[in-house]
Structure 1
C-alpha cells in the first residue's frame, strides 16, 4: 500500500521532508482536519487510506497523502498549504472549515481562507484538480449561522468551477456504529461510509 501518513505540523517543527514522489505516479492530497486525519481510529482505517486501497485494487497509479491535522481551522490551512505544496499535487480534496463552525468563527473569514487555499493550490498546480468537501455544523449557534455556514461550500464550488462533495459526513447521521462517543468523529465503519461518499466524486477525476 502506497499511503503516506504525514503529520504535517510535526514535520514542520522538525524540518522533516515530505515523502519522496514516485516520478511515474500521480498524487492525491487530502487536506483537512481531524476527520481526514482519522482521530480516534487507526491510520489505516481513516478514509484516505481506504481510498488508497480502492485505487490500488483498480491498478491506478496514484499515491494518497493524508494531510489531515486534528484541530485545524481554515486559517491554519492557509498557513500550512505553502509548505505542503512544495511537492506537486495532482488532485487535492479540501476538507476544512468544520472547526471554524464549531468555534463560531466569522463566516466571511472562513470563506476567504478557503478561497486563499484554492488560489494557492491553483497557482502552484495550474493543471491540477481541486475537489471541495462540504461541511456542516450543529445548530447550537443558531439556524441562520448553521445554514449560512453550509452555503459556503456550494458558493465556493460555483465561483471556482469546482466539483463538490455536498456534505462529506451527511450519510453518518447519528448512528452509534458510525460516530464515536464524542458525537463528531467517525468510527472505522463511519470512515468506510465517508470513503464511499468521496469516491463517488473522486473516481471521475482519476
Structure 2
C-alpha cells in the first residue's frame, strides 16, 4: 500500500499539470495571454495553490503552453532558410508564420511580448528574427525583395495580422492566407498581379430584422 502511494501522487501531479496546460492553451488561443491565472485554474479544475505550485509565474506557464508552437515556428524559419531560392523561402516563412499565428492568438501575444521576464521566448524570437533577416538579405541580393525592407517590417506585419477577427476558425485561416498574400505582394521588388487567395466572410452575416406586421 505504501509503495503504491508515491506513484499515485506522482500520477496525480502529472494529471494536474496536463489539465492546467490544456486549459491554458485553450484560453490563450481564444483570448490571448492576458487571461488571469485564477481563470485558468478554474478551467482546469484545480485550486490556485496547485496552479502556482506547478507554474510559479505566468511566464513559466506561457512558455510551457507554447513549447510546441515555438518548435513549429523554428521549423518554419529553418525550412525557409534552407530553400535554395531565397525569395521562395522568404514567402514560405511569411505564409506559414501567418497561418501559425492565425490558429492561436495567445501564441501571437507571447511571440510579440517585450516583457523583460519573457527570457525564454525573447531568445527564441530573436533567433527567428535574426534568421529571417539573413534570408531577407539574400532575397534582396537576388533582386526579388524590395531593397528598403527591414526586419521591423515583419514585426509590423505580425502586429497588423493580430487584428484579424473572423466568424470561424476556417474563415480566420482564409483571411490570414489572403493577408499573407497581400504582404508578400507589398514586399516584392517588382509589382505582381498573382490572384489573391479566396476570402471567406470575415464577419458573421448580420441578423435579419423581424418584419413588422
Higher RCO (C-alpha 8 Å, min separation 6):
1
TM-score (norm 1): 0.31
More strand by share: 1
TM-score (norm 2): 0.31
More helix by share: 2
Rg comparison, structure with higher value: 2
